[in-house]
Structure 1
Amino acid sequence: MHHLQINKNGPLQIFYDQFEDHLHMDDYFQFFANRKKAENNTFLVTDTFSAEKISRIFVEEYSVRGKLSGNVILAFPQPEFDVPIFTFQLGGNGKKSIALLDISPTLPNIDYAPLIPVFEKYKKLLNMEPSKLDWVNSICSEYILHAQYDVLDIDIFLNAMREYLAVWIEHYYKPGAQLTDKQDIDNVCNAITKYKQVLHSNDPAYGIFRKEWGEPVADAFFYIETRDHPSITMPDYSADKLKAWENKELNILWERRAQQRVLAAPEQVQQRIIDAIEAQAADDNMGIITLEVFEKYKDTLFV
């Protein structure tokens, strides 16, 4: 864990090697929070920067109870510029990985010709199937590389990151022109707003951090990630009476949407579902049961 200095661990160093010269390094913001319980840490360290044409870049390292850990990089353009969103995530538990790499469109006429050969190359090398998550597909391009709790060759995926980032810098960021048409600017604003709304409505991070850190600290995390123009407002959780389930013996948390899927089943089978899913999660060393983990286990355990 790092604070009071820029975190350049692992994949984050790749990003800084390729893009640090463009960052406003003399004016940045850092958020750090950690909850230590017994021998386990749930932490997030986020360095946020601005740059020419870029509203906000998030460079993050996280860990959930020492079981799931990883990195996230997000770059949102200023709405007045024709620059797409760069997205990178790589995490997991040492056996299976969560991975996402994309250059997400902010205008409908983006030319993906520079990216297509890179996508085809790494799709084949990684033997990667198309994303099956509707919410991910709704905000990403068709050239997304996405793994959801799958076995992944990390070195190859990091090479893909290097090449995707190079394409984003050379073919989209550097030549990204300032927009003059109001409709284009409105379209970019809308695309960024949608991206933030969909991401924060489906990403389990806020629920995890609210459980581990408490609501005020989790709210601060949400604010930092969504405050820049175009900003989004905090969802109203006041009517949410569903407390996060926790198996303390197995050190496993449940995400709200996964809990709701269990509660939708007949009451007499709910505990059997919970026990089976938690047992599989424990075998796989998964610290949190998200909706995606639930669906994957459900299809395997209850055929």
Structure 2
Amino acid sequence: MTDDSAQGPESEIWERHEKLFLDRLDACLACDDFTECGAFRHTPDKFIRSRARIYQGEKLDRVMINRYSLRRGRAGLVIFAYPRPQYAIPSFLLHVGGHPPDKTLLTLDLAPCSPEMDLSAFASVAQTHRRAMDLPESGLEWLASVTSPYLMHCAFKRIEPERFYGALEAVIETWRDAYIAPAERDDDAAVVQARRDSLLELKKVVFRNDPAFPVFTRAFGRSMSDVLAEAAFGGDPALSIAEATEPPPAPGSWANKKLGVGWHADAQDRVHEAPAFLRPMIRRIIEKEAAKAGAAMVSMDLVLKCEKKYRGNMEL
């Protein structure tokens, strides 16, 4: 088992949120029966860790609670909870991290498992707490196809801790009371398969755009990173990590003819490790830097320099 005390003082924040989730869902989960996996790398200049616990319940196929650290001062809590496909229950998605409370990174949603799912109960709660936390009305484009229209999010914004705690509590209780508790088992093969397809697409989109896994791969190696990914995206249906991982671009296939800039293969591969939704922005930044420097080809050295220069805007 990993050592939570090594995570730093912010671990108390995540522990409080994790405890809230488990306490409110005590009747829905086997909270004293879980599987844990984790990895920890600590060097003079690195502090990377991931600790995932997996729970199940009668109606919930997989509940993954992960506390992570990508570097000192950049940590967070992720909860992905998926229903068994025999039940019409939305998936619970939470990612809270950054540097709370002043620079909080937040995504919180109940993602429907079918287009016709009634989300009015969640809509009311989301609208109330979005206003209370002064969150933007716009959604996340890269998640829009698999999440609800009421997703709450912000990028490095100040959120008062008690207001977020109240919002999290309200969403958890709404998920429990309006969706989990009344859900009845439906074994219609076509309905169940449609829900499986929806859940699988949700897992695929989140996996391909999650910024943590490239960091974990570099820190712990591909095998350990895949174990952590399976913890988040396994179950029924299980996402095949190998199949969901997009192949790297063909050598020399990236080129900006307008700027007269090409790419070395290793530089392409490095940028390809970034979340899918960030890659176009990262490519544009690096190609402009190459053109500014008069370089005809983007090298690995230039990519690494850009990582350091733009670390606040591009997480490679």
- Tell me what 1:178 maps to: 185
- Tell me what 1:88 maps to: 94
Contact (CA 8 Å) 1:75, 1:85: kept in 2 or not? Answer: yes
SS in 1 for 2:108: strand
- Given the alignment of the two structures, is residue 36 of structure 1 paired with residue 59 of structure 2, yes or no? no
2:26 to 11, 20, 38: 20
Unaligned runs of 5+ in 2: 6-11, 250-265, 296-301
Structure of larger gyration radius: 2
Structure 1 residues 254 and 57, CA, compared in 2 at 3 Å: closer, same or farther? closer
Cα distance in 1 for residues equivalent to 2:109 and 2:140: 14
- Tell me what 2:315 maps to: 290
Contact (CA 8 Å) 2:213, 2:225: kept in 1 or not? Answer: yes
CA apart distance, 1:97: 1.5
2:223 to 216, 223, 226: 216
- Tell me what 2:131 maps to: 124
- Tell me what 1:267 maps to: 290
SS in 1 for 2:4: coil
Q: 64-73 or 194-203, which moves further after superposition?
A: 64-73
CA apart distance, 1:47: 0.7
Q: CA RMSD in A?
A: 2.9
- Tell me what 1:146 maps to: 153
SS in 1 for 2:144: helix
Contact (CA 8 Å) 2:214, 2:274: kept in 1 or not? Answer: no
- Given the alignment of the two structures, is residue 193 of structure 1 paired with residue 235 of structure 2, yes or no? no
- Given the alignment of the two structures, is residue 229 of structure 1 paired with residue 246 of structure 2, yes or no? no
Cα distance in 2 for residues equivalent to 1:210 and 1:275: 20
- Tell me what 1:136 maps to: 143
4+ residue runs over 6 A deviation: 253-256, 270-277
- Given the alignment of the two structures, is residue 54 of structure 1 paired with residue 77 of structure 2, yes or no? no
Residues matched between the structures, number: 276
Equivalent AA in structure 1 for residue 82 of structure 2: F
Equivalent AA in structure 1 for residue 223 of structure 2: P
Q: 219-228 or 259-268, which moves further after superposition?
A: 259-268
CA apart distance, 1:222: 1.7
- Tell me what 1:109 maps to: 116
Contact (CA 8 Å) 1:131, 1:137: kept in 2 or not? Answer: no
Contact (CA 8 Å) 2:103, 2:156: kept in 1 or not? Answer: yes
User: How many percent identity over aligned positions?
Assistant: 20
Contact (CA 8 Å) 2:29, 2:60: kept in 1 or not? Answer: no
Cα distance in 1 for residues equivalent to 2:110 and 2:65: 16
Q: 191-200 or 81-90, which moves further after superposition?
A: 81-90
SS in 2 for 1:21: coil
- Tell me what 1:99 maps to: 106
Cα distance in 1 for residues equivalent to 2:54 and 2:124: 31
**TM-score with structure 2 setting the length:** 0.78
Unaligned runs of 5+ in 1: 246-252, 292-303
- Tell me what 1:2 maps to: 4
- Tell me what 1:159 maps to: 166
Cα distance in 2 for residues equivalent to 1:176 and 1:244: 45
Contact (CA 8 Å) 1:106, 1:191: kept in 2 or not? Answer: yes
Q: Give a deviation string over 1:55-79, Cα, whole Å, max 9, x none.
A: 1001111111113111011110111
Contact (CA 8 Å) 2:113, 2:195: kept in 1 or not? Answer: yes
Q: Give a deviation string over 1:178-210, Cα, whole Å, max 9, x none.
A: 113322212211110010000001111110101
Cα distance in 2 for residues equivalent to 1:289 and 1:267: 16
SS in 1 for 2:118: coil
CA apart distance, 1:89: 1.4
Cα distance in 2 for residues equivalent to 1:81 and 1:132: 26
**TM-score with structure 1 setting the length:** 0.81
Structure 1 residues 273 and 64, CA, compared in 2 at 3 Å: closer, same or farther? closer
Cα distance in 2 for residues equivalent to 1:121 and 1:38: 44
Structure 1 residues 238 and 129, CA, compared in 2 at 3 Å: closer, same or farther? closer
Contact (CA 8 Å) 2:248, 2:269: kept in 1 or not? Answer: no
